[in-house]
Structure 1
Amino acid sequence: MRDVLDAVADGELSPAAAEARLAGYVTTGAGRFDAARESRRGAPEGILATGKTPAEVAVLATAALESTGRALVTRVSDTDVDAVVEAVAADVDAAVECNHDERARTLLAQTADHDPPELDATVGVVTGGTADGAVAGEATAVLDAIGATVERVDDVGVAHLGRVLDHLERLRAADVLIVAAGREGALPTVVAGLVDTPVIGVPVSSGYGHGGDGEAALAGMLQSCTVLSVVNVDAGFIAGTQAGLIARAVSDARSGGE
């Protein structure tokens, strides 16, 4: 503890970083940021922008950058992004690179000295149609933060099974697959019947009519006759995190647990 306090007194460590080391979290005016989540769970905490003001998002993102060297924010608006960028410029004593995926509504900010993890594992992120891309993009952002290699296979819905079969070799080469689909949600079931890889199905609210808010896709995946796991509707973050944990286990096994 004394080393941490001395580092704060000498200006080598921010109060937020010191609190993170001692308590495992950082207390802010917008709530607490779980700085120890990655070391405890193998995946970083995501800051959900929905339900928060842009100022609150910016405060939490700043705390994340100061304590862990990066901030992953999901479901952001342009106003949220502007607030984070402004706060970073004013409050973070380091160069920060911000990567905003407008369609996926994600923001990944990292300090210049942050050493991102690299896993020896590949996650395939598959979509049934272009409309599923936002949810797939959210999963991809999480996987990028975790350090997995991402292989995207887009627009291979079951309306033409040949599209899936054309990419079968790539799908089978992945260590884990995330398959996002709307409408009746059949694609994860089809893919899971063709590979020996763990499949995580993500129902997407990209359909219309009865069950078009993702309910039909969710029910179809839950009733799958092939073995797969299913997350909630539009839950790209959850799917990305779960796939990332599997990828981390695969990478550790390949490295002999080092």
Structure 2
Amino acid sequence: MRELLEAVAAGECSPAEAEAKLNGYVTEEAGRFDAARDTRRGIPEAILAEGKTPEQVASLATTALETTGRALVTRLEDTHFAALEERLEETVPDAAVDRRGATLLATAADHDRPALEATVAIVTAGTVDGPVADEAALICVDAGLAVDRIDDVGVAALTRLIDQVERLRAADVAIVAAGREGALPTVVAGLIDTPVIGVPVSSGYGHGGDGEAALAGMLQSCTVLSVVNVDAGFVAGAQATLIARAIDGARTSGS
């Protein structure tokens, strides 16, 4: 502990970094950031922008960068992004920012991103499923997976999907996002022998169009697959990461 205190006194370690090392989390006005979650669980804490002010999001993201080397932000709006961009210019000007729709990954220049020997296929039934797929994709990118994005292959025209079967079979795990009746994950799982994670999307018309029909359809799948909650791209990406990490570990130990 003395070395840590001396580092803070010398300006080599910020108080936030010291608190994260001592407690595993950092307490600030916007809340508590779980800086140790990645070490403890294998998945970093993501900052849910929805329901937070732009200032709160910017503050938490800066803390994440300072203590873990990167910040994952989900469900952000343009006002959140503007506040975060301004804060990063002031505090971490060399951070790299990858924004995909409502999801953002900011990475410090000295952050050492892992590289997993595994590929995840991220599949969408239609364009409307893109934002949920983006959320899953950035979680996988942060973990060091190779991402193969396969878009707009819904079951209304099966030839679009059949054309991509070899790519799907080459992946180690697949995340499949679909709204409406949610049939695509079932079809994909019937064609490949790798784990499939279905993500119901809140799109469609009338009754069940809020993702309930898609969720029910995936839960009743006659082919084996895992299912996450409606629009839960982060959870799907996290689950795919854990699977891929196990695959990478097996390949590495066997080589």
Is TM > 0.5 for Structure 1 vs Structure 2?
yes
Asked whether the 8 Å contact 1:44–1:145 carries over to 2, the reply is no
Kindly, what percent of the aligned residue pairs are identical? 68
In structure 2, C-alpha distance between the alignment counterparts of 1:95 and 1:127, rounded to whole Å: 33
Paired with 1:196 and 1:42, the residues of 2 have a C-alpha distance of 25
Q: Tell me the equivalent position of 2:56.
A: 56
Rounded Cα–Cα distance in structure 2 between residues aligned with 1:68 and 1:29: 19
Aligned length: 255
Pairwise CA distance, 1:163: 1.3
Q: Which residue does the alignment assign to 1:197? A: 194
Q: CA RMSD in A?
A: 1.3
Corresponding position of 2:45: 45
What stretches of structure 2 of length at least 5 have no aligned partner? Answer: none
- 1:36-57 superposed Cα distances (whole Å, 9 cap, x missing partner): 1111111111000001100100
Instruction: Name the CA distance, whole Å, in 2 between partners of 1:162 and 1:111.
Output: 43
Query: Is the 1:44–1:146 contact (alpha carbons within 8 Å) kept by the matching residues of 2?
Result: no
Quick check: 1:110 aligned with 2:111?
no
User: 1:202 Cα shift?
Assistant: 0.3
* Partner residue in 2 for 1:30: 30
2:134 to 132, 137, 148: 137
Where in structure 1 do 4 or more consecutive aligned residues deviate above 4 Å?
none
Q: Pick from 202, 205, 212: which aligns with 1:215?
A: 212
* Structure 1 residue 129, shift from structure 2 partner: 0.9
Question: CA offsets, 1:112-134, max 9 Å, x none?
Answer: 11111111100000011111111
Separation in structure 2 between the aligned mates of residue 257 and residue 33 of structure 1, nearest angstrom: 37
Secondary structure, in 3 states, of the residue corresponding to 1:177? strand
Shift of 1:85: 1.6
CA pair 74-257 structure 1, distance change in 2 beyond 3 A: farther
Tell me, yes or no, if the aligned pair for 1:177 and 1:199 is still in contact at 8 Å: yes
The residue correspondences of 1:61-210 to structure 2 (distance < 5 A) are 61-92=61-92, 95-101=94-100, 103=101, 105-210=102-207
Distance 1:148 1:79 in 2: 30
Summarize deviations over 1:175-202 as a string: whole Å, max 9, x none: 1000000110000001111111000000
**Aligned-partner residue type, residue 211 of structure 2:** G
AA in 2 matched with 1:4? L
| CA distances 1:69-117 after superposition (whole Å, capped 9, x unpaired) | 110100011111111121222234x62122222x2x0111111111111
SS at 2:156's partner residue? Answer: coil
Q: Deviations over 1:146-170 (max 9, x none)?
A: 1111001111111111111111111
